[in-house]
């Protein structure tokens, strides 16, 4: 019998997973997280951190809890230890900007952990590129590049030396280890998913898989359609220039008078329900983990109604404007 094999888990992997957890986790979504409170975390009452312990640390058992807590304090609260934590909550927008500054310099180049506060002029070393590569697996790179205030967030997150780039163009090369469609980046995969959700062939249970998030993927498809609808609304809201006194009531009023398509009362009410449910991270009606026939029918009807609303909004003519304008709106929102 062979001896058990030990697999080394990179520290950069743990760092990236903990950094992304408040922004891109099922727990953060269901808790309706909008800010990180250091006092609650210090008193061990933070449900988000308990979820991170369960989801992240259980998958990375080689890291002790005290080391993970130190990494959390440094990432989430910009503090080297629990004793140095500030009492002020950290909004997710501020956290995202600070996270971007910790990974990229003002030119969009990966930076070393110790040099993140300064704009180093030397090229990114292998350690910084390794750290950045793990973060790109945890969060979309264009999100961090936008939060960093870069003029072209969609540019290559791993730019090569100009001399190397010229050599590759002159001599040509091929990535022979990649299978067909194996090299799609997140942006292209997401755009393809958004387009697929408009077709009648999709169903609420398409993402069902053992071990998946949202009850083994059973509810994931429905939440994705919810997010797709609200994403369109927020995009139009930002593009139209929301007033300085923005509030939820203002957004709901905007939703009823959606400029791209005049919604009827049923559609407007449906849109208001989606907004409220997304804020809560929960549906108004509960569904048991093992659905009976009646529950499955309700879930299928909910999915079909939301998909119909999504198709009605996405085919609006003025939603097809220059995408660069919309990127500017989002970038302005993320800037201090």
Name the pTM for this structure: 0.77
SS (HEC) of the chain: CCCCCCCCCCHHHHHHHHHHCCCCCHHHHHHCCCEECHHHHHCCCCHHHHHHHHHHHCCCCCCCHHHHHHHHHHHHHCCCCHHHCCCCCEEHHHHHHHHHHHHECCCCCECCHHHCCCCCCCCCCHHHHHHHHHHHHHCCHHHHHHHCCCCCCCCCCCCCCHHHHHHHHHHCCCCCCCCCCCCCCHHHHHHHHHHHCCCCCCCCCCCCCCCCHHHHCCCHHHHHHHHHHHHHHHHHHHHCCCCCCCCHHHHHHHHHCCCCCCCCHHHHHHHHHHHHHHHHCCCCCCCCCCCCHHHHHHHHHHHHHHHHHHHHHHCCHHHCCCHHHHHHHHHHHHCC
Per-residue pLDDT of the chain (336 residues; tens, 9 = 90+): 556 656 678 889 999 999 999 999 999 998 888 888 887 655 544 788 888 888 888 887 777 888 888 888 888 988 755 555 667 888 999 999 999 999 998 888 888 765 444 444 455 678 888 899 899 889 988 899 999 998 888 777 777 777 877 887 888 776 666 665 566 777 778 888 888 888 888 899 899 988 888 888 889 999 999 999 888 888 777 777 655 656 667 777 776 665 556 677 788 788 888 888 888 888 877 655 566 777 888 888 889 989 988 888 876 544 434 444 444 444 444 444
**pLDDT at residue 83, as a whole number:** 56
Per-residue confidence (pLDDT) for residue 166, from 0 to 100: 83
User: For position 118, what pLDDT does the model report?
Assistant: 46
Q: pLDDT value at position 135?
A: 93
User: What is the reported pLDDT for 23?
Assistant: 94
| pLDDT of 333 | 43
């Amino acid at each position: 019998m062979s001896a058990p094999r030990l697999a080394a888990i990179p520290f950069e992997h743990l760092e990236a997973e903990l950094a992304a957890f408040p922004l891109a986790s099922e727990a953060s979504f269901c808790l309706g997280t909008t800010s990180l409170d250091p006092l609650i975390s210090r008193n061990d009452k933070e449900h988000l951190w308990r979820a991170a312990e369960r989801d992240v640390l259980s998958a990375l058992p080689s890291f002790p809890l005290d080391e993970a807590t130190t990494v959390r304090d440094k990432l989430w609260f910009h503090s080297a230890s629990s004793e140095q934590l500030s009492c002020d909550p950290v909004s997710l927008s501020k956290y995202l900007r600070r996270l971007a500054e910790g990974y990229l310099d003002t030119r969009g180049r990966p930076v070393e952990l110790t040099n993140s506060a300064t704009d180093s002029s030397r090229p990114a070393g292998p350690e910084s590129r390794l750290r950045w590569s793990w973060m790109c697996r945890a969060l979309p790179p264009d999100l961090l590049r936008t939060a960093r205030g870069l003029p072209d967030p969609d540019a290559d997150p791993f730019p090569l030396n100009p001399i190397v780039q010229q050599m590759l163009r002159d001599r040509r090369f091929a990535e022979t280890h990649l299978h067909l469609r194996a090299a799609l980046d997140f942006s292209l995969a997401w755009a393809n998913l958004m387009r697929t959700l408009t077709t009648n062939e999709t169903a609420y249970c398409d993402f069902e898989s053992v071990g998946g998030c949202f009850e083994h993927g059973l509810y994931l498809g429905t939440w994705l359609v919810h997010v797709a609808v609200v994403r369109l609304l927020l995009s139009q809201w930002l593009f139209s220039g929301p007033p300085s006194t923005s509030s939820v009531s203002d957004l709901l009023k905007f939703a009823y008078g959606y400029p791209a398509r005049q919604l009827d009362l049923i559609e407007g009410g449906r849109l208001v329900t989606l907004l409220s449910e997304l804020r809560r991270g929960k549906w108004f009606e509960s569904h048991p983990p093992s659905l009976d026939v009646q529950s499955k029918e309700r879930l299928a009807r909910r999915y079909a109604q939301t998909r119909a609303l999504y198709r009605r909004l996405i085919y609006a003519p003025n939603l097809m404007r220059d995408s660069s304008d919309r990127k500017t709106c989002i970038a302005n929102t993320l800037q201090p």
